[in-house]
Amino acid sequence: MNHAEIDQYSTRSRWYRFDPRVKLACVVGLVLVAALTRDLASLLLLFAFSSALVLASGVPLRHLRSVLALAAPFVVFPALALLLTNGPLPALAMALRVAASVLALAVLTTTTPMFHLLRALRWYRMPALLSSLVLFTYRFIFVLLDELERMSLARRARGFTGRGHLLSREVFRTLSFTAGMTFVRAHARAMRIYDALLARGYSGEVRTLSELRAGPRDVAFIVMFLTIGALSVLLQTGALT
């Protein structure tokens, strides 16, 4: 079965070959600068830069649209709240701030395979247990989704239509049984996966062969972010006006 994966176009993207540690640090830096900036011109610059990164990434816009749709409420609701309380300019500033951050994070997550991103996080001292947990969650979420899909087909094959509201006794009963069964199956699978890990010598940490290496292109990437960050700070402090 096919599932939408956030990193499915990452290997084809223009930013794929850049070191994930560099990308992670630069994007987090940009988000921090955006969070601390109040100047509208400065926020416009950050927004334009993030948009340019997205457009240059080579990730299909159709895919980006579905990723950004998930983040849309985080842009719209704070801006709306500010529009009603503080007026249009603070609302616009908030929308630009969040949108610039979301776009930068979208660049990071759509152009970096999840596994590489986790290795970068591990390099930044993310606890081994946490990174293993995220790794296995990402690997097995698709297996679990397949199981849910099969259970849904089995329900429908035996006449369950799901019609009626969620509080309908029959619908609620069936869906709650499905949820319970999902937990039971997930637990049984987790036990089997743990056995398989032990069988291949797992002793608490997932290690990999390839090493992360930063090159000249990563330096250029850092310089690009630093330039935009510096410009943004200069605009904020009024040094350029």
Binding site for another protein (CB under 8 A): 3, 5, 11, 113-115, 135-136, 138-140, 142-143, 189, 192-193, 195-203, 206-209
DSSP 212: P
- What tokens appear for 114 in the block? 């999840």
DSSP 4: -
Looking at the Cβ atoms of 55 and 143, the one nearer to another protein is 143
3-class DSSP state of 163: coil
Looking at the Cβ atoms of 149 and 170, the one nearer to another protein is 149
Looking at the Cβ atoms of 32 and 198, the one nearer to another protein is 198
Cα(44)–Cα(231) distance, integer angstroms: 11
In the complex, minimum distance from the CB of residue 196 to another protein, in angstroms, rounded to a whole number = 4
In the complex, minimum distance from the CB of residue 150 to another protein, in angstroms, rounded to a whole number = 13
Looking at the Cβ atoms of 24 and 102, the one nearer to another protein is 24
In the complex, minimum distance from the CB of residue 204 to another protein, in angstroms, rounded to a whole number = 10
Give every CB contact of residue 117 below 8 A, 6+ residues apart in sequence: 7, 20, 24, 108, 109
Q: Which residues of 144-165 are buried (b: 16+ CB within 10 A; e: fewer)?
A: eeebbeeeeeebeeeeeeeeee
In the complex, minimum distance from the CB of residue 215 to another protein, in angstroms, rounded to a whole number = 19
